[in-house]
Amino acid sequence: MAGSSSARIGIFGAGYVGLVTGACLAKLGHSVVVRDVLPERIEALRAGEPPFFEPGLADLLAQNSERLTFTLDADEATVGADFIFVCVGTPPTYGGDADLSAVWAVLDELPQRDTRAILVMKSTVPVGTGEKVREALGARGLVQFGYVSNPEFLAEGSAVRDFSRPDRIVVGAFSESDGDAIAALYEPIEAPVVRTDVSSAEMVKLASNAFLATRISFINEIANVCEVTGADVAEVARGMGLDHRIGQYFLAAGIGYGGSCFPKDVSALKQLAGNSGYQFQLLTAVIEVNELQKRRVVGKLERHLGRLRGKTIALLGLAYKANTSDLREASSLVLASRLLAEGAEVRVWDPVADATSVLSGVTFSDTVLDAVQGADAAVIVTEWPELRELTQPEFRDAMRRAIIVDGRNLLDPELARAAGFAYEGIGRPSSELGALPEAEEREPELNR
Ligand code: UDX
């Protein structure tokens, strides 16, 4: 096997994890072949076009192109490779378990070989998957393959930075020497390496995401209690976060978590526990709070507008968070369909996310100003920095009613009110009631 200075690496899956990992490993000097099953994705990558927006990725792919190959052919990524990274999707099944069919498909494509290679599991998988893979490799006589669980903690929008500056690198191996080989691969990166058994490594990933999701649902419930008791959740989170045992991160109340990881991983851990005979009650609540949180915006709009039938609502931001074009499990999608079901006219705007194939019945706007023109309310769904400008007079004057529901607590409530808007944040004191439900025109004196 080649030393860590220049290894041959095959990567299965050209999604966020596979592409960022592949590009970053190429930057470390390794020869990387990325394999995907989607011809259009491979063609685009060969032409130098990343299939999604991720800060820094396009440059990284371009700068390391001589060590990066893209292919549809599994053999190209496996024959001669020292390490084979599994970075395929593990989406939820209808029942909420992780669907491992793409992982098993990779195993089916591994060739017999005479020299040793290590299969590196980056995809998030249920605890126990490593054992099953080891059995499957043995059953096929693929005795030259080692197996290491090396879960991925990249967050979209900061994935390239997260790879080079991770909080930790988790390496769960069946054999000491396989673990050593993976640890050596990451040697240039300064971070604590957690060496452990395969099952524990698998659980570190699931438990970390479930814990972070729990923090979000917790602060969202605190926010909801703040709303009925008159406290401000932003102040509460600031005060809580200074306790070093709590910490300041992941305490931003909002309209619920989304994305490709949290919803699926929380559900997968809950199902994994259930399938093993343990009811993980806390996670049931975390999921339910998150679902309800997406819908609370509707109540806030109704508070100011009465029935929403015939009202025009601008949804500002569609991506599940800023700095990504990803719409997977985005709260915007649930919100848009709830508003349409109430009979509202829905306008949507996002600077990068393209929802034309997933949202129907809404009007797509190219600019924020277009989206809010004549609208009865604007809802900040994603914390895009440009939405901080929303309190400018041009937006207020364009709207039929100057009402902002800030699903991300992006704006300063006092500034928004001083600029003439009725403002509703999450877990913050409400504005007094503005325009009457039946009023056709904005009534500036009521929009405090
Ligand atoms: C997450 C994990 O952070 C990452 O380690 C894992 O590998 C994949 O899942 P990601 O989904 O990219 O990454 O985004 P993250 O920034 O963690 O946010 C997830 C969701 O939580 C977003 O919808 C975000 O808006 C929401 N969130 C986050 C909050 O509502 N409040 C917070 O305080 C933090």
Q: Per residue in 100-113, pLDDT tens?
A: 999 999 999 999 98
Decide the pairing of beta strands 312-316 and 345-349: parallel
Third-level CATH fold of 8-195: Rossmann fold (3.40.50)
Ligand 1 pocket: which of 57, 257, 325 to mutate (most atoms <8 Å of CB)?
257
Sequence length of the chain is 448
Look at residue 104 and give its three-state secondary structure. Answer: helix
- Return d(Cα 386, Cα 389) in angstroms, integer: 6
Q: Where in the chain is the domain with CATH 3.40.50.720?
A: 8-195, 197-448
CA of residue 352 to ligand 1 center, whole Å = 18
- Return d(Cα 315, Cα 372) in angstroms, integer: 9
CA of residue 282 to ligand 1 center, whole Å = 19
- Return d(Cα 222, Cα 225) in angstroms, integer: 5
Give CATH for domain 197-448: 3.40.50.720
pLDDT score at 429: 86
pLDDT in tens, 111-158: 998 999 999 999 999 999 999 999 999 999 999 999 999 999 999 989
R_g over Cα of the chain: 24
pLDDT score at 441: 45
- What's at 294, amino acid-wise? K
Is 261 tagged catalytic?
yes
| Inter-CA distances, 94 with 98, 99, 407, Å | 9, 9, 29
Assigned token pair, 163:
């790879």
- Average of pLDDT values for 317-326? 94
Nearest atom in ligand 1 to 162's CA: 5
- Return d(Cα 16, Cα 242) in angstroms, integer: 33
Assigned token pair, 285:
């609540």
pLDDT in tens, 20-50: 999 999 999 999 999 999 999 999 999 999 9
Assigned token pair, 134:
């080891």
* Ligand 1 within 6 A of CB of 15: no
Ligand 1 pocket: which of 262, 265, 320, 331 to mutate (most atoms <8 Å of CB)?
262
pTM above 0.75, yes or no: yes
Q: Quick check: 284 and 270 in contact, CB under 8 A? A: yes
pLDDT in tens, 272-297: 999 999 999 999 999 999 999 999 99
pLDDT score at 438: 41
C-alpha dihedral sign at 31, 37, 42, 44: negative
Ligand 1 pocket: which of 321, 325, 406, 408 to mutate (most atoms <8 Å of CB)?
321
Please name the residue whose Cα sits nearest to atom 17 of ligand 1: 155
- What's at 394, amino acid-wise? E
CA of residue 66 to ligand 1 center, whole Å = 33
Strand partners, 12: 35, 86
- Return d(Cα 14, Cα 56) in angstroms, integer: 16
pLDDT score at 142: 94
Assigned token pair, 446:
């009521």
Contacts of 163 (CB under 8 A, 6+ apart): 20, 21, 24, 154, 189
pLDDT score at 433: 62
Strand partners, 10: 33, 84
* Ligand 1 within 6 A of CB of 82: no
